[in-house]
Structure 1
Amino acid sequence: KNISMTMQSLFNDHYLSQIDDDLTTITDFDLLKLQLIRQRKKLFSFVELLIKTELSYENIVQRIDYENLFDKQNQLTREHNLLTNEYQHLGQTCLYLINKTHDLIDERNKYYNEWQRNKSLLTPRPDWDKVSNVIDGGKERWKILSYGKSSEQLVDALIQEIMHGNQSESKNEIEYFDALGDDISILSFLRMPTSNRIFNRRMRQHMTEILIQEIW
Structure 2
Amino acid sequence: MKQERALRTRQALIKSAATVFGRRGYAEATLNMISAGAGVTPGALHFHFENKAAVAAAVEAAAAGSLRTVAREVYARRTSALQALADSSLALAHALLSDVVARAGFQLGHEVLYPTVYDLREEWHAYVYRLLKEADAEDTLLPGLCRRHAAAMVVAATIGFELLGRDDPQWLSRRTLTGFWNVVLPCLADPEALRKLDL
Q: Which bracket does the TM-score occupy, shorter chain normalised?
A: under 0.3
Larger Rg: 1
- TM-score of the superposition, structure 1-length normalised? 0.21
Please state which structure has a larger fraction of its residues in helix. 2
Bigger relative contact order, structure 1 or 2, given CA contacts below 8 A and separation 6+?
2
